[in-house]
Chains A and B, each alone.
Chain A
């Protein structure tokens, strides 16, 4: 967890101090996309090869799907309604009603 916070802070500081060479600076977007693909691919492998996940899927998958959808729906609804109720400060872009 410290590694992860450290990575964000390091990236921030290196950008502010302009420490990266030009060829890396201009390719930061590509680097991010590449890392994202690698991350999701390796997460996929660990899920697909996790016998605990695969073996419990047929029996418990339905329940888990209902619960995951309902927790997501509940949390999105609460944040959305929170933004709506503070209309005067929250812009439409952020999820509020102010134009």
Chain B
């Protein structure tokens, strides 16, 4: 499975770079269609998993806190990471607050803070999504199912949800969908809030 994942992504990147530098006119419709079909199969699988209500009840209470832990971990992680590169601490944290949703965080940062930092946010969150796709199966095996939700950040409600669904179980898939939805709803507030804080200092 990991080979299929890595292979499709890499072949796509190479095709995009060498063969289709202008992109494809309906590319975003293809992406959306494939994503919708994929999420349909995730929903279909969830329904096969028996009594969902019981499974949600059986989850540890801490599962509710997963989105909060993901935010705190991302902000502190980016703070530590910024110590190793040439970037003001607060700006590193701002980039980390994108939580993998590159299109949104990069646009907000480029428009209301700084264009170059917007480009850093774009790349960082693209990398986060790609690395998440590669790491989720490994983390699920080595550290357990719930930690495998963390790398995806906000993308665990869409792009990385199928990977989580295939690497873990239906209980974890529900937590991932819940966490991704909460984070996706929070980013439009979190990123501008950190920009406000940065501009206040």
Contacts and interface: CB of A to CB of B under 8 A. Distances in A.
A47 B131 contact: no
Contacts of B167: none
Interface residues of B, number: 103
Interface of B is mostly: helix
A24 to B, nearest CB: 10
A46 B27 contact: yes
Interface residues of A, number: 74
A62 B162 CA distance: 29
Given A39-B31, A71-B128, 6 more contacts: A28-B44, A44-B15, A45-B20, A49-B16, A70-B81, A75-B73
21 contacts: A11-B41, A32-B41, A39-B162, A45-B24, A46-B23, A48-B17, A56-B122, A66-B81, A67-B124, A68-B127, A71-B124, A75-B73, A75-B151, A76-B143, A78-B69, A79-B70, A79-B73, A79-B146, A95-B143, A95-B146, A95-B148
Nearest to B153: A75
Interface in A71-93: 71-80, 82-83, 85-86, 89-90, 92-93
B95 A49 contact: no
